[in-house]
């Protein structure tokens, strides 16, 4: 191996799947979000020293043993489909690219589970299952790109979660490699005191261990499916309808809303929305009688809440485009956003307050979301920005904080933490839950090797009192000077 390599043992282990090439390393400095380089450098040093691309759990174990010995920071990463810097290095170190651990290992037909590798795309997994007559219980709205391991390490709510729950409830067993290199089997059902459970990895964002295999509950391909698309005169009516349908029997497989602002944003990006008003997309699947009852429920809710049913072809198109919400980024050059977990009953109030903020700031803000649990919705509000203009970008960034303020007023919290949402830890979880998570981290990774700087505390620049005051001042400045931006 060349003498100039920083970590020769890793190069010997992985061969050409290990690199210290600056060009290759540079691709891992960002995720879905784009941050001006000067601002990014104030948060952390995001260029990894090296990139490792393992293909087996044994290779990951050897890498982590080496990292533990050298006190080398390790950032796990696969698709990096969030914008929170969950998978972006903050302290250089080693970037662990997990895309090579992909594929469906086995289907266990008798117990309706599937064993899968962590770098598998959810879309690829569902296609592989459907070829055998099975399908997933739920999957993320970014399923064509998002990976199994990544979504498990997030909160894991998306399409299908309203009916079947979050992914943590669908885990039968995980294989994970801990920070000291130990490979362990983690049960999803263990209730033993002090036992590490598969559900403990939900929301850990790669800070507790590297998932190397997962056994997930699956289901038979449904016999019937029905898509519905409704438009409403206002968000209050749309909120009433979606809350009613989500609480009724049968439970919809998919319930998605888009405020009128989202349709306007789509038009600016060159697309044609299905209607000009608020939209509600509902999908039922299961037995034929279940789909038929769902159809009756939709017609009743539409009548009660002054909704109008759109043609079946538009409903089918909306379903086919369920992964394309961010296509409005074409109106860019980029977007900033806030994603919150919000009580469904407060959707209309939230959307109204977001519309007021947009008017105050003279900036279109698009809002849409998915009902993912009884009475709970994940809501995304996003707006355009230009990362090539650092000052306007920084002023625009303050609006993300204002959007979270609106969510907090209506009983919401951030969905996902990473780095950028750590100023809101107090709103994201209770002090008891945070203390428990920190204790688990200290137990499993006392040297803080795995994904340091994420989830448990904000970096210095994002210290909550100063950050929140600064963002409020920037938002005020932007509001006064918006005509010149």
Domain-ending residue, one of 176, 191, 220: 220
Q: Determine, yes or no, domain membership for 72.
A: yes
Largest CA distance in the chain: 74
DSSP bridge pairs for 52: 18, 96
State the chain's mean pLDDT as an integer.
95
Q: Residues 370, 248: one domain?
A: yes
φ, ψ of residue 441 to 5 degrees: the values are -60, -45
Per-residue pLDDT, 201: 85
Determine the pLDDT at residue 1: 45
Q: Would the pTM of this model clear 0.85, i.e. be above it?
A: yes
Write the CA distances from 276 to 264, 330, 435, integer angstroms.
8, 19, 46
Domain finish residue from 372, 391, 414:
414
Is residue 469, in this structure, part of any structural domain at all?
no
Residue 2, pLDDT above cutoff 60? no
- Mean pLDDT, to the nearest integer, of 122-128? 98
Residue 342, pLDDT score: 98
Q: Is the dihedral of CA 443, 206, 74, 215 positive or negative?
A: positive
Give the pLDDT score at 404.
98
Instruction: Say yes or no: 86 and 204 in one domain.
Output: no
**What confidence category does residue 203 fall into, taking pLDDT thresholds of 50, 70 and 90?**
confident
Of 360, 394, 414, the last residue of a domain is 414
Q: What is the CATH number of the domain that holds 79?
A: 3.30.43.10
- Percent share of the chain, pLDDT over 70: 98
Residues 381-395, mean pLDDT to the nearest whole number: 94
Instruction: Please indicate, yes or no, if residue 476 is contained in any of the structural domains.
Output: no
Under DSSP, the state recorded for 132 is T
Hey, is 433 helix, strand or coil? helix
Closest CA to 305 of 342, 280, 333, 284: 280
Higher pLDDT, 44 or 200: 44
Q: Which domain covers residue 169, as residue numbers?
A: 104-220
Same domain, 288 and 343: yes
Same domain, 50 and 157: no
Tell me the per-residue pLDDT of 80-116, one tens digit each, with 9 for 90 and over: 999 999 999 999 999 999 999 999 999 999 999 999 9
pLDDT digits 0-9 by tens, 141-195: 999 999 999 999 999 999 999 999 999 999 999 999 999 999 999 887 655 444 5
End-to-end distance of the chain based on CA atoms, in angstroms?
Answer: 53
Strand (E) or helix (H) holding 58? helix 57-70
DSSP class of residue 325?
G
């Amino acid at each position: 191996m060349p003498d100039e390599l920083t970590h020769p043992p890793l190069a010997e282990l992985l061969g050409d799947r290990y690199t210290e090439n600056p060009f290759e390393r540079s691709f891992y400095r960002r995720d879905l979000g784009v941050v001006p380089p000067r601002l990014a450098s104030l948060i952390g040093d995001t260029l990894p020293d090296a990139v490792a691309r393992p293909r087996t759990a044994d290779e990951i174990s050897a890498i982590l043993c080496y990292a533990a010995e050298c006190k080398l920071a390790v950032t796990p990463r696969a698709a990096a489909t969030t914008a929170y810097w969950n998978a972006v290095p903050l302290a250089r170190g080693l970037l662990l690219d997990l895309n090579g651990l992909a594929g469906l290992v086995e289907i266990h037909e008798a117990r309706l589970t599937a064993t899968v590798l962590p770098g598998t795309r959810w879309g690829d997994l569902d296609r592989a299952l459907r070829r055998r007559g099975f399908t997933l219980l739920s999957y993320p709205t970014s399923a064509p790109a998002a990976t199994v391991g990544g979504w498990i390490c997030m909160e894991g709510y998306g399409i299908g979660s309203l009916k079947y729950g979050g992914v943590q409830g669908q885990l039968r067993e995980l294989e994970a490699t801990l920070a000291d290199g130990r490979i362990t089997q983690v049960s999803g059902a263990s209730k033993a005191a002090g036992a590490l459970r598969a559900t403990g990895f939900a929301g850990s964002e790669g800070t507790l261990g590297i998932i190397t295999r997962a056994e997930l509950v699956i289901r038979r391909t449904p016999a019937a499916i029905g898509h519905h698309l409704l438009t409403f005169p206002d968000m209050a009516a749309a909120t009433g309808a979606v809350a009613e349908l989500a609480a009724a029997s049968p439970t919809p497989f998919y319930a998605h809303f888009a405020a009128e602002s989202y349709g306007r944003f789509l038009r600016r990006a060159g697309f044609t929305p299905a209607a000009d008003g608020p939209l509600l997309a509902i999908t039922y699947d299961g037995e034929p009688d279940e789909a038929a009852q769902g159809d009756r429920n939709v017609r009743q809710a539409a009548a009660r809440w002054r909704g109008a049913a759109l043609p079946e072809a538009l409903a089918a198109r909306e379903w086919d485009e369920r992964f394309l919400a961010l296509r409005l980024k074409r109106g860019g050059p980029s977007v900033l956003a806030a994603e919150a977990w919000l009580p469904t009953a407060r959707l209309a109030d939230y959307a109204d307050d977001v519309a007021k903020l947009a008017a105050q700031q003279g900036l279109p803000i698009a809002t849409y979301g998915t009902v993912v649990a009884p009475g709970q919705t994940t809501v995304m509000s996003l707006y355009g920005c230009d990362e090539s203009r650092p000052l306007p970008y920084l002023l625009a960034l303050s609006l993300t904080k204002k959007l979270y303020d609106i969510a907090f007023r209506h009983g919401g919290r951030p969905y996902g933490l990473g780095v950028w949402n750590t100023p809101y830890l107090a709103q994201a979880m209770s002090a008891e839950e945070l203390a428990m998570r920190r204790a688990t981290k200290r137990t499993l990774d006392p040297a803080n090797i795995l994904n340091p700087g994420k989830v448990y505390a904000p970096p210095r620049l994002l210290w909550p009192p100063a950050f929140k005051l600064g963002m409020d001042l920037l938002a005020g400045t932007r509001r006064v000077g918006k005509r010149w931006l």
